[in-house]
Chains A and B, each alone.
Chain A
Amino acid sequence: MSAYLISGGTLADNTQKDILIVDEVISEIATKVVSASAASAVVIDARDCIVLPGLVDLHTHLREPGREDSETVASGSRAAARGGFTAVSAMANTFPVADTAGVVEQVYRLGQATGLCDVFPIGAVTQGLLGKQLAELGAMASSAARVRVFSDDGNCVSDAMVMRRALEYVKQFSGVIAQHAQDPTLTVDAQMNEGVISSRLGLKGWPAVAEEAIIARDILLADHVQSRLHICHLTTAGGVEIVRWAKARGINVTAEVTPHHLLLTDDLATSYDPVFKVNPPLRTLKDVMALREGLADGTIDIVATDHAPHPTESKECEWQSAAFGMIGLESALSVVQQTMVDSSLMTWEQVVDRMSVAPARIGGYSNQGQGIRVGAAANITIVNSKKKWRVDKDLVASRSRNTPFHGMELPGVVICTMLRGKITFDGQMRAVNG
C-alpha cells in the first residue's frame, strides 16, 4: 500500500482540506483526516497551494512517430506532468499519420510505457490527412487505444461532403470530429492575422473569415446530421459569436481556446521572430478579449494547449520559411491563471471545469476529469498560485524550445502532479534537476 497525505491545501471551491490518497484513489477529504492509513502516509505540504484535479489536454502534438527530433511521447509526457497535466491527446499529424489502428496503438503503448500521463491518441479523419478518403475510423475506435476523437489538425477537413460523412460515421461509437477550421482557399501561403499589422509588415494575411466560415458551415452540418462537433483552437471574436449562437440553438458543438490565444496578439509579429508564428495565427486584442469572455461564460468549453514542438532550425529563419506552432504544456495553467483567474474573469472551480472535467468529457476519457472527490482516481495537480516564475526556453522539459512566453514572468508554480496516486512531477525536484 502506498499513501499520501496532501496537507493544508485549498480546493478549487476555496475550502481548506486535507486529502488522503491510498494507492490509486482518493480515500478521504476532510479538514482533519482520521483514517488509520494517514499515520503511515507520506505527507505533501500544500500550504499556500491550490489542489486541482489533474489537467487534461485535448490537443497536443507529441510528434512521435516521425519527428522525434522535436518531441517524443516520453519527453512530451514529462512536459505534461510538469505543467500539471495527467492526460494529453496526441494529434494525428505524425509520420506516418495516425490514420490506422496500428499507429494509434503504438502511440498509446508508448504513453503507457512512459507512465507520466495518460496519452490518448487522436485518429486522423481522412487518410494521410489529405481530406479525400475517410481513414479507418472504426478500426481506430475499437483498437486498444479506443480512439473517440478524430481530427486532421494541421489541415482542415475542407470538403463539405467529407466532413458531413465523418460527422455521421463517428456517431456509431460516440466519436467526435475535432475540426481545424481554416478554409484552405482563403489562406494560401498565409503567414499571420490579416489586418492592420499584416498590411504594414507585408506578410500574407490569414483572415478571420477563413476560420469563421468553416465553423459556421460545420455547425450547420453537425446540426443537420445530429452529430458531435468540436472546434479546435478558436481564435476570433466572430467565431465565439457563432458558437454562442449554435449553443443557444442546442446544437452539439464544443470549442477550445489555447493559452497563447488568450494572452498574445498579432502585433508581436512586428519582431519578425517566428516564435510568434502559429496556426491559427495570433489575432487582435479585441479577439483576445472575446475569447476570454467566451471561455468565462462557457461558450468556449475548454482550454487546450495545441502544444506544437519544432526543432530550432525550423524557427531560426525568416518568418515566411518558419514552421507554425508553439509549445505550451508547461505554461498553460500559468497563462490561464494570469488571464482568467487573476483578472477575476473565472474562479478556480471554472478552471477545473475548463481544463480537466470538460476536456475529459469531450474526449470520453472516463478515468480522467473526475474532480477531487472520494473514490475518484487520484489525478491531482498542486499549484502554488501565489508564486511567480520566469519562463526560460532553455529550461523546458520539452525537446523543443519554441515557447512564445520566454522571459515572461507568470503566476502559478506547479508543485506536484500525481497520476492515479503516483507522483509524476515533484516540484522539489525541479530545483535539483534544473
Chain B
Amino acid sequence: MKHLLSIEDLSYEEALSILDTAHEMARVSDGPVKKLPTLRGRTIVNLFLEDSTRTRISFEAAAKRLSADVINFAAKGSSVSKGESLKDTAQTLQAMGTDAVIIRHSASGSAHWLAHSPWMNGSVINAGDGTHEHPTQALLDAFTIRKHLCGGAGDLGGMNVGIVGDVLHSRVARSNVLLLSKLGANVVLIAPPTLLPVGVESWPATVSYDFNREIPKLDALMMLRVQQERMNDYFFPTSREYAQYFGLNRDRLTLLKQNSIIMHPGPMNRGLEITAECADSARSVIVEQVKNGVSVRMAVLYLLLAGSSEIASAVNAEVNA
C-alpha cells in the first residue's frame, strides 16, 4: 500500500490490518507517554485546501504521536487561495522532500489526481475529496462499531448499520457504504430521494425512505450532517420538515435496540439532523469517534510510511532480484 485514496482500492485484508494496527495504536494513546519514535525524520504535509479543523488536528496528532514532522498547509492565506494550481503545489511539496501528503480538497478525485501525477513521489492520503470519499473517517467508524459491537476484533459480519441523511453530497457515506459492506455489515441508506444519488442502486447497500421502520433493526445508526444551504436547492422543503422525517430525536431514540450506538462524523447541526439529547445520550459514541480517529490515522500513517523510503525500495528490489 503506497497511498490511501479510496476505500474502493482497499482489500478486505488491508482494511482489517488497518483496524488491527489501530487497535495497538489505541493502546499507545491510552498510555502515559503518547509518543512513539516510529516515523522520526519523516515529513508529512497536511495540505488542507478546504476548511476542516477537526480532521486536520486528528491527522496532526496522529503524525506527532509517531514522531513525524508535520507541516500544515492551509488554503487561507496560502498561494493556493491566490490561484496557484495543484500541480505547482505538488511540485513545491516534492521539492521540499515530503514523505506523505494528507490532502483535503473540495474537488472530487483531487487525491487520486495528485497521487497519479508525475510531480509527486510520496504517499498521498485522502482526507476528504469533494463529494467522493473520506476513507479514514470510514475506517474510524468501522473501528468504533467493531469495538462496541464486535468485541474489538475481526470483521463486522451481520451488523446492521443505518446511514441517515444527505448521502448525495456525503463522502463519509460513500466511504462507509464501501467499507462496512466489505467488512460484512448490512448497510441501509435512509434519506429522502432527493438526497440519494442517481445510480445508488448499484451500491452495496439498500435504500429506505422510512426512518421509523428501519430504526429497530439497527445496531449502529450513523447520522450525516445536513447543510442548511441544501434547503435553497430544493432538496427538502424546510429544515423543520427534514427534522421531522429524518432527524434523530427522543421519540426515535426509544425505538433503538438496547445496545445500539449512535454515531455522527461531525460537525453536528444540533436540532436539525440530531437533537442535543440524542447527541449527548449514553448511546452516543460521537466523542469516542474523534478519539478513535487518531488511532486509525496513526495506523494508516504507520502502514503507509514505515518502509516506504528509498532504502526500503532498494532492499526490496535486492531481495526480489
Cα–Cα, bound, A207→B199 (Å): 11
B200 interfacial by beta-carbon distance below 8 Å: yes
Q: Please, what's the 1-or-0 string for A297-333, where 1 marks a CB less than 8 Å from any CB in chain B?
A: 0000000000000000100111111000000000000
**Which of A193-201, A222-230, A348-356, A380-388 is near enough to bind chain B?**
A193-201
Q: Please, what's the 1-or-0 string for A93-116, where 1 marks a CB less than 8 Å from any CB in chain B?
A: 000000000000000000000000
Cα–Cα, bound, A205→B105 (Å): 19
Nearest-Cβ distance from residue A201 to partner chain B, whole angstroms: 6
Q: Please, what's the 1-or-0 string for B197-223, where 1 marks a CB less than 8 Å from any CB in chain A?
A: 111101100000000000000000000
Nearest-Cβ distance from residue A310 to partner chain B, whole angstroms: 14
Partner of B87, one of A200, A202, A272, A317: A317
A202 near B108: Cβ-Cβ < 8 Å: yes
Contacts of B132 in A (CB 8 A): 201-203
Cα–Cα, bound, A198→B129 (Å): 14
Contacts of A194 in B (CB 8 A): 198-199
Residue of A nearest to B108 (CB): A202
A195 near B198: Cβ-Cβ < 8 Å: yes
Cα–Cα, bound, A207→B197 (Å): 11
Known A196-B202, A197-B199: A202·B105 in contact at CB below 8 Å? no
Most buried by A among B85, B105, B110, B197: B197
Contacts of A272 in B (CB 8 A): 108-109, 112-113, 116
B225 interfacial by beta-carbon distance below 8 Å: no
Known A202-B131, A202-B171, A272-B113: A319·B108 in contact at CB below 8 Å? yes
Interface size band for B: 20 to 34
Residue of A nearest to B200 (CB): A199
Interface size band for A: 20 to 34
A319 near B109: Cβ-Cβ < 8 Å: yes
Cα–Cα, bound, A204→B116 (Å): 22
Q: CB within 8 Å of A: which of B183-208?
A: 197-200, 202-203
Q: CB within 8 Å of A: which of B99-142?
A: 105-110, 112-113, 116, 129-133
Nearest-Cβ distance from residue A345 to partner chain B, whole angstroms: 29
Nearest-Cβ distance from residue A268 to partner chain B, whole angstroms: 13
B182 interfacial by beta-carbon distance below 8 Å: no
B241 interfacial by beta-carbon distance below 8 Å: no
Contacts of B3 in A (CB 8 A): none
A200 near B8: Cβ-Cβ < 8 Å: yes
* Chain A residues with a Cβ under 8 A of chain B: 191, 194-205, 207, 271-272, 313, 316-321
List 6 interface pairs A-B (beta carbons < 8 Å), by A numbering.
A196-B202, A199-B197, A203-B130, A272-B113, A318-B86, A318-B109
Q: List 7 additional A-B contacts (Cβ < 8 Å) besides A203-B131, A313-B85, A316-B85.
A: A191-B108, A194-B198, A199-B198, A202-B174, A207-B198, A272-B109, A320-B107
